[in-house]
Amino acid sequence: MLEIWGRPYSSNVIPVIWTAAELGLDYKLKLAGGSFGQLDTDQYATINPNRMIPAIRDGDFSLWESLAIVRYLCARYGAGTLCPDDPQQRAIADQWMEWSSTRAFTPVIQMFFQTVRTAPDKRDQKTINAHASDAASVLSIFEKHLEGREYVVSDSFTMADIPLGCIAYRYFNVDAARPDLPNIEAWYERLSQRPAYQKHVMRFFGTNPEEWQALEIASANEGE
Ligand SMILES: N[C@@H](CCC(=O)N[C@@H](CS)C(=O)NCC(=O)O)C(=O)O
């Protein structure tokens, strides 16, 4: 059975778990990283020499880097659906997946770290505002792209929606300023109708480090 190594509250692991769920794959979650440790073991180094999560094992095959894993799972188990057959459509999916990690991920994850993962008395509003402003500026590109489109590539859901959908949930649920982004909001609303998104992405992540930590520890019952 497919093994996913990681923890259910990690920003880089969530896209992999969501992908497996969208594809209807049976998988075993092997808890690793954060409160669950394991990354410094010799066994884990054979799966991911970077000692980071996520990583997968699919039979004898190991793979790391979250978006490489999303692409692999979609190519192997979702060819023609989550992984478009048409080379140009697939290239557009790849383009937005690259963009999600090189442009959108950092400002949004910083908004998350400077709020939820920072104690309220240690938060710096100027820093939060600066990341929120960077995120808004980057997301304005995506906002324009979604004009007249239901999903990232076309009118059907593909692997390109996955990393951006994970970023969107963080973006819309942290305590920070956001401009109106009607196309992104409508797309986010469409994703919110998907059971696998509700279950694996739309998880309450707390409002401060203690709450976040308690939720992460409680998620131990989802894996082994
Ligand atoms: N580019 C990598 C980044 C992986 C990464 O930064 N993973 C973090 C978690 S989000 C990690 O392993 N941190 C150590 C830990 O969780 O203990 C990917 O997308 O897979």
Interval 72-81: pLDDT, tens: 999 999 999 9
CA–centroid distance, 206 to ligand 1, in Å, is 20
Place of tokens 């990341």: 131
Residue 93 CA, ligand 1 centroid: distance in Å = 22
Local structure of 175: helix, strand or coil: coil
Count of domains forming the chain: 2
Closest residue to atom 12 of ligand 1, CA basis: 52
Among 156, 147, 152, 154, CA closest to 182? 147
120 Cα–ligand 1 center, Å? 25
Spatial CB neighbours of 149, under 8 Å, sequence gap ≥ 6: 155, 183
End of a domain among 80, 114, 142? 80
pLDDT for 147: 97
- Report the Cα–Cα distance between both ends of the chain, in Å, rounded: 14
pLDDT digits (tens, 9 = 90+) for 31-63: 999 989 999 999 999 999 999 999 999 999 999
Those residues of the chain that have pLDDT short of 70 are none
**C-beta of residue 152 within 8 angstroms of C-beta of residue 89:** no
Do 97 and 51 fall into the same domain?
A: no
Using the 3D structure, point to which of 80, 111, 129 is the last residue of a domain.
80
Q: Which atom of ligand 1 is nearest to the CA of 50?
A: 12
Question: Has residue 155 been placed in a domain?
Answer: yes
Task: Provide the strand spans (E) within 32-102.
Answer: 55-58, 61-64
Sheet holding 2-6: strands in order across? 27-31, 2-6, 55-58, 61-64
* 131 & 183 share domain: yes
Amino acid at 218: A
Measured from the CA of 37, which atom of ligand 1 is nearest? 17
List pLDDT tens digits, range 134-156: 999 999 999 999 999 999 999 99
Q: Do residues 114 and 128 make contact, with C-beta atoms less than 8 angstroms apart? A: yes
Q: How far is the CA of 1 from the centre of ligand 1 (A)?
A: 23
Please give the residue range of the domain that contains residue 43. Answer: 2-80
**How far, CA to CA in Å, does 12 sit from each of 53, 104, 121, 148, 205?**
7, 13, 27, 29, 15
Q: What is the pLDDT of residue 108?
A: 98
pLDDT on residue 104: 98
- Residues having CB closer than 6 A to ligand 1 are 10-12, 33-34, 39, 52-54, 65-66
Q: Position 165: which residue type? A: G
- What atom of ligand 1 comes closest to residue 10's alpha carbon? 10
What's the token pair of residue 57?
A: 């094992």
The residue whose CA is least distant from atom 6 of ligand 1 is 52
pLDDT at res. 171: 98
Atom of ligand 1 nearest to the CA of 39: 17
Ligand 1, from 38, 52, 67: best to mutate by most atoms within 8 Å of Cβ?
52
If asked whether residues 55 and 95 sit together in one domain, one would say no
Estimate to the nearest angstrom the gap between the alpha carbon of 86 and the chain centroid: 25
Q: Residue 218 falls within a domain, yes or no?
A: no
Residue 107 sits in the same domain as residue 54: no
91 and 40 co-located in one domain: no
Please check whether residues 18 and 54 belong to one and the same domain. yes
